[in-house]
Amino acid sequence: MRRKLAAGNWKMNGNAALLAEAKALSTAHPNPSVDVLLCPPATLLGQLGDNTGANIATGGQDCHAQENGAHTGDIAATMLRDAGASYVILGHSERRQDHGESDKDVHAKAQAATNAGLCAVICLGESLQEREGGKTLSIIANQLAGSIPDGLTSDNLVVAYEPIWAIGTGMVPSLEQIREVHDFIRTYLQKRFGVGAGNGMRILYGGSVKPSNATEIFAVSNVDGALVGGACLKSADFSPIISALEQA
């Protein structure tokens, strides 16, 4: 059985008020039956850990492919781990767009992350133009093949399907569209890593998940949780999403 995962991505947001929201979330879910993950800006990893407990895992939003060196402004996977992180989001579409990250870059970062003992949450998804051009599955296939290193396991790989056009827009694919892509990713993982490992790997949906649509999305086959942006910033929004996942 795959343990479900509710992951929140703070993106470039974070202050004392958000830390208080995290504390409230931690208090509301002292013993969750799903994994709960918050990924704050790296500067807040330590403080976030101080405001929550073992009930909430923490993660980075990116890491460098190298372990150290002359890379101004970057953060190594080992540094995230030393700051208490157990996960790192990689290849988010905002990184791919804002920083020109390629599948090859994501692959190298995922290797570094898993070498450091982190679980890599590898994001992929199509643009609206690609969706409308009927290219979704071929884009996903290329991103899966290009971004995921060999030898990963259900302990250190989570795949997040995030259609770019659904992120922060309020637009959500139909449940059938989500099912089609998640089933496609499951089949890919089974073929590449073997049926046992492929069945154990979690596949998250991300893009405008909110309390009002979480239950129906979590009922879709091969949806093992969510990667949540906007709705993870308030405990009052993220908490019902966690509860919906617990009940799925």
Relative to beta strand 87-90, strand 225-228 is unpaired
The minimum distance between CB 66 and ligand PGA, in angstroms, equals: 25
Residue 61 contacts ligand PGA per CB under 6 A:
no
φ/ψ region of 225 (left if φ > 0, alpha if ψ in -120 to 50, else beta) reads left
Residue 17 has a CB neighbour count (10 Å cut-off) of 10
Residue 35 contacts ligand PGA per CB under 6 A:
no
Position of minimal CB gap to ligand PGA? 229
Tokens linked to 177:
């569209």
Residues 4, 9, 65, 107: which binds ligand PGA (CB under 6 A)? 9
The minimum distance between CB 162 and ligand PGA, in angstroms, equals: 5
Q: Is 99 tagged catalytic? A: no
Q: Which of helix, strand or coil describes residue 44?
A: helix
Residues 227, 241, 242, 245: which binds ligand PGA (CB under 6 A)? 227
Q: Are 236 and 14 in contact (CB under 8 A)?
A: no
Residue 230 contacts ligand PGA per CB under 6 A:
yes
The minimum distance between CB 150 and ligand PGA, in angstroms, equals: 26
Q: Which is nearer to ligand PGA, 78 or 178 (CB)?
A: 178
Backbone angles phi, psi at 102, to 5 degrees: -100, 170
Residue 167 contacts ligand PGA per CB under 6 A:
yes
Residue 42 contacts ligand PGA per CB under 6 A:
no
Q: Are 84 and 53 in contact (CB under 8 A)?
A: no
Residue 198 contacts ligand PGA per CB under 6 A:
no
Relative to beta strand 157-161, strand 202-206 is parallel
Q: Which is nearer to ligand PGA, 120 or 193 (CB)?
A: 120
User: Which of 29, 64, 92, 107 is an active site residue?
Assistant: 92
Exposed / middle / buried, residue 177 (Cβ in 10 Å: 0-12, 13-18, 19+): middle
Residue 228 contacts ligand PGA per CB under 6 A:
yes
Q: How many residues does the chain have?
A: 248
Q: How far apart are CA 33 and CA 28, in angstroms?
A: 13
Point out which residues bind ligand PGA (CB under 6 A): 9, 162, 167-168, 206-209, 227-231
Q: Kindly list the catalytic residues.
A: 92, 162
